[in-house]
């Protein structure tokens, strides 16, 4: 069956390339045609960018298109849309939402951000206080979100807000799609330790969100958000990278290029981290294979946790290896990058940027709890506030 499917995919790719020559076709037009041919996400349903085939066959399609010089959709620029919004809309969205949002999301015509965390509800996301109040066919949203990557360029946002303050904190949340261009949406950059502002804070003041942009049932937001977060952790920690991809490759290249910097102690640390990075890479490949057969599980939390720790240890090792040169920081220019290259620029930047790895996508402390409780089956931590109405909680 797989060979038959591959033959069909090969025929579809050939027809796409014949009808839309990548050398002469505008990239957006090419990507629209790719979506319509079912080659965007082959595991998605027919008519929604897919063909209902096994997810594992997507890499086969991608390889054929890459070899032909076809444009991609610059996934680093829209990682939240592609890695989080798309699978969530597919799993919980209405037929109208799928038809409206998936195609421009895939082509990159509409980019996305994530309005989840708040100043008072970061690690305890279920404690969020942004309110959505029903007003006829709309919801009126007021609140503040923080750590919102790419909000300055985003067209749309996945948003969770409290719709029932009388329910327990996990039960009174609803999930929405918010137009970032609507009146009442204000984006302010947050300058980080690196000098950049890849994150933002977002203020929502009387923002009207039609009920047609509600994803899932009213009060189902925690369940929908958890599906999004599992996909987010896979997107951050479970990427299919080549050997010596990412930070381990940066440090290994420095080690080979600068033999005068080597010491026995640093050599031992590099060997240990190289092995750990390789184990994490191979585990990520296994996770990708599991994803190909179904939905992401809690393993994404373990992968993201491992990614953050190894990246931070490697960036610290690089700084020590470079000695005085590691203290250089060549560019402190304030800017808001469309996407983040965590291995780019110089060692000082990489060291500082890696500090965020253990916060973004779920703090390492929270992820350790998830691994302990949901993977290892250890007793959960006591949660005295779990069944108390949100409005009665001390904040």
Q: Helices 347-354 and 299-322 sit at what angle, rounded to 10 degrees?
A: 150
Beta strands 112-115; 131-135: pairing state: unpaired
Picking from 130, 124, 80, the residue whose alpha carbon sits closest to that of residue 105 is 80
| Tokens, residue 58 | 């997507």
Distance between CA atoms of residues 75 and 339, nearest Å: 9
Q: Please give the C-alpha separations between residue 4 and each of 9, 12, 35, in angstroms, as whole numbers.
A: 9, 12, 21
Query: Which of 196, 201, 232, 313 is labelled catalytic?
Result: 232
* Three-class SS state of 207: strand
Residue 232 catalytic?
yes
The pairing of strands 156-162 and 112-115 is parallel
Instruction: At 334, list the tokens.
Output: 């304030």
Long-range contacts of 168-171 (CB under 8 A, 24+ apart): 168/386, 168/387, 168/388, 168/389, 168/390, 169/126, 169/127, 169/385, 169/386, 169/388, 169/390, 169/393, 170/126, 170/222, 170/386, 171/219, 171/222
Residues that are catalytic: 232
């Amino acid at each position: 069956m797989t060979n038959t499917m591959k033959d069909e995919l090969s025929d579809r790719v050939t027809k796409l390339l014949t009808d839309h020559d990548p050398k002469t076709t505008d990239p957006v037009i090419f990507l629209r045609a790719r979506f319509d041919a079912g080659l965007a996400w082959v595991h998605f349903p027919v008519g929604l960018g897919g063909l209902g085939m096994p997810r594992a066959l997507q890499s086969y399609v991608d390889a054929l298109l890459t070899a032909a010089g076809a444009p991609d959709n610059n996934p680093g620029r829209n990682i939240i849309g592609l890695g989080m919004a798309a699978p969530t809309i597919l799993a919980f969205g209405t037929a109208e939402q799928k038809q409206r949002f998936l195609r421009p999301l895939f082509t990159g015509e509409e980019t996305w951000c994530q309005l989840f965390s708040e100043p008072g509800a970061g690690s305890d996301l279920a404690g969020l206080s942004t309110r959505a109040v029903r007003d006829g066919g709309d919801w009126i949203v007021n609140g503040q979100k923080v750590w919102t990557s790419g909000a300055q360029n985003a067209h749309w946002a996945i948003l969770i807000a409290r719709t029932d303050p009388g329910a327990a904190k996990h039960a009174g949340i609803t999930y929405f799609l918010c137009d970032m261009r609507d009146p009442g949406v204000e984006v302010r950059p947050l300058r980080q330790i690196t000098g950049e502002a890849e994150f933002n804070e977002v203020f929502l003041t009387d923002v009207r969100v039609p009920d047609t942009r509600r994803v899932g049932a009213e009060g189902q937001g925690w369940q929908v958000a958890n599906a999004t977060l599992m996909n987010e952790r896979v997107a951050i920690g479970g990427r299919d990278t080549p050997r010596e991809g990412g930070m381990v490759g940066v440090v290994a290249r420095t080690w080979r290029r600068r033999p005068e910097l080597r010491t026995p102690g640093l050599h031992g640390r590099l060997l240990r981290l190289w092995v750990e990075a390789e184990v994490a890479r191979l585990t990520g490949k296994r996770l990708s294979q599991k994803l190909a057969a179904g939905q992401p599980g809690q393993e994404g939390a373990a992968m993201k946790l491992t990614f953050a720790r190894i990246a931070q240890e490697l960036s610290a090792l690089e700084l020590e290896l470079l000695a005085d040169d590691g203290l250089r920081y060549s560019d402190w220019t304030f800017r808001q990058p469309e996407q983040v290259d965590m291995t780019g620029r110089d060692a000082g930047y990489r060291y500082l940027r890696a500090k965020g790895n253990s916060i973004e996508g779920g703090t390492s402390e929270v992820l350790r709890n998830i691994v302990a409780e949901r993977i290892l089956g250890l007793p959960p931590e006591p949660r005295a506030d779990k069944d108390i109405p949100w409005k009665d909680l001390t904040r």
